[in-house]
Amino acid sequence: MSSRFNSIRNPKVYIAFVVAFLVVLFFYPMELRFKYEYQRGRPWMYETLIAPIDFPILKTDAELLEEINEAADRVLPVFRYDRAIVLEQMKALNVWMDSLQLADQWIDTLNQTVGRIYDKGLLPYFEDASEYPMIVMLRDRNITELPYAEVYNERTLPLYLRFALSDAENHPQADSVVDAIIRNKLVQPNLVYDEKRTDQMHKEAIDYVSPTKGMYYTGQLIVTEGETVTPQIEQLLDSYKAEYEQSIGMSAESWVLWIGHSAILLIILFLLFMAMFYAERDVFGNRNNVHFILLLFVLSFLVTIFMDGDSPFLMYLTPYAVFALYLVSFYPAGFAFRIYSIILLPLLILPTLGLELYVANLLAGAIGILCFAHFNRGWLQFLNATFSVLGLVLSYLSFRLITEGTLSTVNFEIVLFSVLNGFLIVSAYPLVYLFEKIFSFVSEASLKELTNTNSKLLLELARKAPGTFQHSLQVANLSEAAVREIGGNVLVVRAGALYHDVGKINNPQCFIENQAVGINYHANLTPMESAMQIIQHVDDGLEIAKKHKLPKEVTDFIETHHAKSLTAYFYNTYCNNGGDPENKEPFMYHGQYPTTREQVIVMMADAVEAASRSLKDYSYESISKLVDGIIGTRLEGNQLLEANISMRDVHLVKEVFKQQLAQIYHARISYPERK
């Protein structure tokens, strides 16, 4: 606990919180919040509400959509009369008739007929002419509404031409002439569809649709206390809320709104601070933890602000659950869930459907955290996202039942948004690797790669220092069993245990577990020289870790697994040979004290596993005495002064070590020789 207090004394921690506060406050919508919360189908929990002001009654979305569709249906298509087409086509027609040397009577008849058609207007052919019972013709700045049937069109054009030529004499091939005119496209429509003008008229028609239907006046009853909120009452409340936010809200003093919203933000940030302070490990010990969590908080707030528009259902499209996956990638699941539940609080403050959205996304995130350990790689991420989507849909359907009393009103667009939400979760999750680089974190995926014994560095350790490699495996197994008992990050502790002695690669024969039978590396060295070379493996380990770019979470184990303890064997030998007992410095490791429970476990597992190899009696009593003695020495030497671990946890770790060692060194049956 003392290390946490030391961490929060760092002013840079508070600077980060202040910056997050100012960024969110800058984008925070400064508007008065409606003081009532209500849902259709649930009782009105407040006092009887009488209209304190006059307000227009808003139409429902269904009513507004119906009127808009009716207005759109009344809009007529606009066709522009094009004289250029008339002149061009008449010229082409006469050239064609001259080339065929038609009789003057036919030429006159065709010119008169086509001219009359063009004067009235020729429309292009439409498959469904009934769609346009009326049209608007724009000619010489004059706008005329005409029935579609009164205007010529391409479909009836051959009929009109044949009828006109039937009165002409001395030419029995009228049908072939008309077919040639149509085939050569000598008569083209001169009424051109004006899409821009039609769209403009369509927009004007929609703009004329009023969003309100009547007025509600001061003193009229809106809802009584305890009354069920029906769709009609909900419509009145929505109308009153809109007028309240527009008139009363806009007239509120701006400084009052600033104070209120600032207080809400400070409360949320305080809750976030407390969740971080009482975490299982010292989050404030690394400023990157603070910066990362505050970044997710700011992103959650900004996304909520920008997505909270006219349609609150669009919020179902926002992949909030990915924030939970970001957190659980770097922190224990319990801590990740607590932080996630706080950074979702903007949903309760800003959107219209705040409670519904908060519960839905809290459930989706909780499912994501729960499943993350099993479905966090490759295509399995889609499976994790699918479970989160099911949580969203289940929550939405549950709220429909308690507000509507039926599932018949389910909005399938929201269900579609929820499905798309799952794809966005999968698409946004790879950003975790960007966060890993920016904040110098190590994700679970990276830890799994590090703990693979086929990794390049561990293979080198196994080849050059096989005894140390086997020792590291045993330390990893002991540490993993202990951390599962008291809680902590299993992958971190396993990675730390596997790499804690990697520095022995540089001088493997210096350590007894790698020495060949009958060879004593230290036979010709003084105790001080031997201690110096033993201690050197910590510095060598840090250099090797830096060369192979191991993350800080792993290198910390190298630096803390001996802390500031003595190389007891060589120190005692030195004293027994007449050395000064006060001269401890040459025999003391110059590492760092462990701060996390994972580092403490590896430090104790390392000492216990190494000492257990010297036992001659592997009874439970001797193992228990060994473990108590080793860990007692660490406690008496004040090696756990800065560690975030309780004495209860230390006791549990000791018991786990005793059980594990007893199972490893259990008595084995002796096989009789065959006579």
Instruction: For 274-306, write each residue's pLDDT tens digit.
Output: 888 887 666 776 788 888 999 999 999 888 888
Q: Do 480 and 594 reside in the same domain of the chain? A: yes
Domain boundary residue among 403, 438, 473? Answer: 438
Asked if pLDDT for residue 545 goes beyond 80, the answer is yes
Q: Do 343 and 417 reside in the same domain of the chain? A: yes
Between the ranges 114-128, 398-412, 470-484, 571-585, where is the mean pLDDT highest?
470-484
pLDDT at 1: 46
pLDDT at 172: 58
Asked if pLDDT for residue 17 goes beyond 60, the answer is yes
Residue 77 corresponds to which tokens in the numbers above?
Answer: 């298509």
The closest alpha carbon to 366, from 320, 403, 397, 404, belongs to 320
Q: Does residue 67 sit within a domain?
A: no
Q: Which residues fall within 8 angstroms of residue 429, CB to CB, at 6 or more apart? A: 322, 325, 326, 381
Q: What is the Cα Rg of the chain in Å?
A: 41
Asked if pLDDT for residue 442 goes beyond 60, the answer is yes
Instruction: For 414-430, write each residue's pLDDT tens digit.
Output: 888 888 888 888 888 88
Q: 3-state class of 145 per DSSP? A: strand
Helix boundaries (H) for 172-286: 174-183, 195-207, 231-243, 249-251, 254-277
Residue 279 corresponds to which tokens in the numbers above?
Answer: 């975490």
Q: Do 524 and 467 reside in the same domain of the chain? A: yes
Q: Do 423 and 463 reside in the same domain of the chain? A: no
Residue type, 568: A
Q: Does residue 215 sit within a domain?
A: no
The residue-averaged pLDDT of 322-350 equals 87
For the chain, the domain total comes to: 3
Q: Do 276 and 143 reside in the same domain of the chain? A: no
CATH number at residue 590: 1.10.3210
Domain boundary residue among 404, 438, 472? Answer: 438
pLDDT at 258: 77
Domain boundary residue among 172, 206, 240? Answer: 206
The closest alpha carbon to 556, from 586, 591, 510, 520, belongs to 591
pLDDT at 2: 47
Q: How confident is the model at residue 543 (pLDDT cuts 50, 70, 90)?
A: very high
Q: Picking from 76-90, 218-232, 243-257, 589-603, which range would have the lowest pLDDT averaged per residue?
A: 243-257
CA–CA dist 496, 548 (Å, integer):
15
Q: Does residue 59 sit within a domain?
A: no
Asked if pLDDT for residue 3 goes beyond 60, the answer is no
Q: Does residue 54 sit within a domain?
A: no
Instruction: For 469-520, write each residue's pLDDT tens digit.
Output: 898 899 999 999 988 888 778 888 999 999 988 988 988 888 888 877 767 7
Tell me the backbone φ, ψ of residue 137, rounded to 5 degrees: -110, 125
Q: Do 461 and 434 reside in the same domain of the chain? A: no
Q: What is the DSSP annotation of 523-581?
A: TTS-HHHHHHHHHHHHHHHHHHHHHTT--HHHHHHHHHSSTT-B-HHHHHHHHHTT--T
pLDDT at 338: 92
User: Hey, what's the torsion of the CAs at 385, 390, 393, 396, to 10 degrees?
Assistant: -100
pLDDT at 296: 92
Q: Do 164 and 144 reside in the same domain of the chain? A: yes
Q: Does residue 154 sit within a domain?
A: yes
The residue-averaged pLDDT of 595-601 equals 87
Q: Does residue 266 sit within a domain?
A: yes
Q: Does residue 602 sit within a domain?
A: yes
Q: Do 450 and 326 reside in the same domain of the chain? A: no
Between the ranges 350-354, 412-416, 545-549, where is the mean pLDDT highest?
545-549
CB-CB neighbours of 195 under 10 Å: 10
Under 8 Å between Cβ of 615 and 664? no
Under 8 Å between Cβ of 189 and 157? no
CA–CA dist 375, 71 (Å, integer):
52
Q: Do 407 and 455 reside in the same domain of the chain? A: no
Please say whether the dihedral angle defined by the alpha carbons of residues 437, 438, 440 and 442, taken in this order, is positive or negative. Answer: negative
Q: Do 487 and 432 reside in the same domain of the chain? A: no
Asked if pLDDT for residue 353 goes beyond 80, the answer is no
pLDDT at 383: 75
Q: Does residue 216 sit within a domain?
A: no
Q: Do 185 and 269 reside in the same domain of the chain? A: no
Q: Do 471 and 390 reside in the same domain of the chain? A: no
- Region at 121 (left for phi over 0; alpha for psi -120 to 50; beta for the rest): left
Q: Which domain holds residue 271?
A: 2-32+252-438
Residue type, 580: D
Residue 292 corresponds to which tokens in the numbers above?
Answer: 């990362």
Whether pTM exceeds 0.85: no
Tell me the backbone φ, ψ of residue 659, rounded to 5 degrees: -65, -40
CA–CA dist 376, 380 (Å, integer):
6
